[in-house]
Amino acid sequence: MYMIRVGKRVFCLILFLNVLFMGSHVIAHPHVFIVQRLKIVFDNQGLAGFEVEWHFDEMFSNMIAMDYDQNRNSTLEPAEVAVVKEKAFSYIAEYDYFIFVKIDGQSFKVKWFKNFNAILKNGKLSYHFFVPCHVKANPLFKQVVIATYDPTYYTAIFFARKQPARVENGDGFVIESTIKEDKNTSIYFGMVNPWALFLKFRLNS
């Protein structure tokens, strides 16, 4: 996520230097750390989408506070949140917002989100936003895989140990889920398999 703030030219330079020094075993590593929770939301048709909750490390939280908490009251007010959204979140649209979804094995590109909020509380920053992803349920299981990662490996995203994912409005469906490494996906020169939520659901009838 730090790359959001340094801009495209600097970010491209970082990537170039990382690749240049690969032969010397100088390898990039994450500079920003996120603990994530997902809320999987159903409606009467099936999957409606999922709410993403990102909790950032102390260093990145301090950077955002210094740059965007203009009145220095240790909170982010609506006008400040709007600037954070524009300057420190929307930029990653070109990286699919770090969210990669497959529906029955087919890629679903995350093009937009809604209900973005940035919260600064006790010096800790969190982002909250909803990703619409409509998948109609039927008598056979549908599978949705949700992986969140930075393809450059400059940001590390981990599922929370406690309550990493939960379901809302799922009573009308048979739902199975697990969180594990996605062995079919590799990033950062094939060295890392991202963790993902594997979700299966069908009509409860």
In sequence order, the β-bridge partners of residue 39 are: 51, 166
Q: Is pLDDT of 91 > 80?
A: yes
Q: Which domains does the chain have, with CATH numbers?
A: 3-203 (2.70.170)
Q: Summarize pLDDT for 40-66 with one digit per residue, the tens.
A: 999 999 999 999 999 999 999 999 999
Residue with tokens 């940001």: 155
Say what the pLDDT of residue 192 is. Answer: 85
- pTM of full prediction above 0.95: no
Contact yes or no for 167/175 (Cβ under 8 A): yes
Q: What DSSP designation does 141 have? A: -
Determine what percent of the chain is predicted with pLDDT higher than 90. Answer: 78
What is the CA angle 201-96-141, rounded to 5?
Answer: 10
CA distances to 104, 122, 163, 174 from 142, in Å: 6, 41, 23, 10
Q: Give the tens place of pLDDT for each residue, 145-170.
A: 999 999 888 899 999 999 999 999 99
More confident residue, 118 or 26: 118
Count other Cβ atoms within 10 Å, centred on residue 40.
Answer: 23
Q: What pLDDT sits at residue 205? A: 77
**Residue 64 confidence (pLDDT):** 97
pLDDT given for residue 19 in this prediction = 42
Q: Which tokens is 182 given?
A: 């996605």
The yes-or-no verdict on residue 25 having pLDDT over 90 is no
